[in-house]
Amino acid sequence: MRNTFFPLEETGMAFWVDPRNPGSAFGIHRRRYKLTTNTSNSAFDLAVFLSHAGLGRRMVELKQKENLFTQGEPADSVFYLQHGRVKLTVVSHSGKEATIALLSSGAFVGESALGSMPGLRLSTATALDNCTALRIAREEMIRVTHHECEFSDLFLKFLLESSSRAEADLVDQLFNSSEKRLARILLLMAEFCKPGEQETFIPPITQETLAEMVGTTRSRVSFFMNRFRAFGLISYNGRIQVHKVLLNAILLDQLPKHNAEKPKLPSAPCGFSRSE
């Protein structure tokens, strides 16, 4: 049997390895280095895979308020959100609904379908605006995750970011006031992680949905939104525009002292209809 050449990703070094005894040539380095395969000649193209229909994949177009999937349906696929924004909601046995996450383009939706045993959807994914998504069958998702390193790296990064976000949400819920939780949610919805953007419009959303995400009442959300507007932290002209620097002042407890007093609030709620 001929020896096989393996590149080592971490250092750019390489060794000749006997396939009959792979550990012999670099046994002392197995904990330090990782074997990689040469993908330079691979036919797999990540951008093409995520933007076009194919084997086990099809495009899905959604209008506002249409569902990608519904709680209780078979979890037989994962969606890659190309354009638009989606909210995830859960409904209790008593009929109470809660919004648990907002997702934007570049996110995977319904990734729990990849569990060891196929099950049912634990939430409902609803379009907040017109959306385009790629539906990837569970079997195809498992295959490409196992065989294509570029895709598995992207998917793993998404899972780690989702896990970090969930931890931050829990800490926020446990230790911050409802006003700070609302400010953080507005920042996340405005997606200030995008470079070069100083202030951003948030997607249309009702007071009820924000109250569910913050964990407070609609009246409190209305009060805080009016307070933010009075302090110049947000503006409203048909859509709500969030000002990053001023909202960060709330998150970091850096509001001027004279702002500690309750400001005069506009009579009408800020930017929302009461029944929507």
* Rounded CA separation 207/219 (Å): 8
What is residue 83's predicted lDDT score, i.e. its pLDDT? 93
For the entire predicted model, the pTM comes to 0.70
| C-alpha neighbours within 13 Å on the C-beta side of residue 206 | 14
221 plus 242 within the same structural domain: yes
Q: What is the pLDDT of residues 141-186, one digit of tens each?
A: 999 999 999 999 999 999 999 999 889 888 888 988 898 899 888 8
Confidence of residue 255 (pLDDT cuts 50, 70, 90): low
Give the mean model confidence (pLDDT) for residues 180-207: 74
First CA to last CA distance, the chain: 71
Q: Which is more confidently placed, 101 or 32?
A: 101
53 plus 163 within the same structural domain: yes
Number of domains the chain is built from: 3
Query: In terms of residue numbers, what domain contains 200?
Result: 176-260
| 267 in a structural domain | no
* Rounded CA separation 206/218 (Å): 9
128 pLDDT more than 60: yes
226 plus 241 within the same structural domain: yes
273 pLDDT more than 70: no
3 pLDDT more than 50: no
What is residue 8's predicted lDDT score, i.e. its pLDDT? 38
* Rounded CA separation 18/269 (Å): 72
Confidence of residue 266 (pLDDT cuts 50, 70, 90): low
Confidence of residue 59 (pLDDT cuts 50, 70, 90): very high
229 plus 256 within the same structural domain: yes
85 plus 156 within the same structural domain: yes
54 plus 164 within the same structural domain: yes
194 plus 164 within the same structural domain: no
62 pLDDT more than 60: yes
* Rounded CA separation 90/222 (Å): 23
Token pair of 147 as six digits: 């065989």
Token pair of 166 as six digits: 């969930």
> How many other CB atoms are found less than 10 A from the CB of residue 71?
16
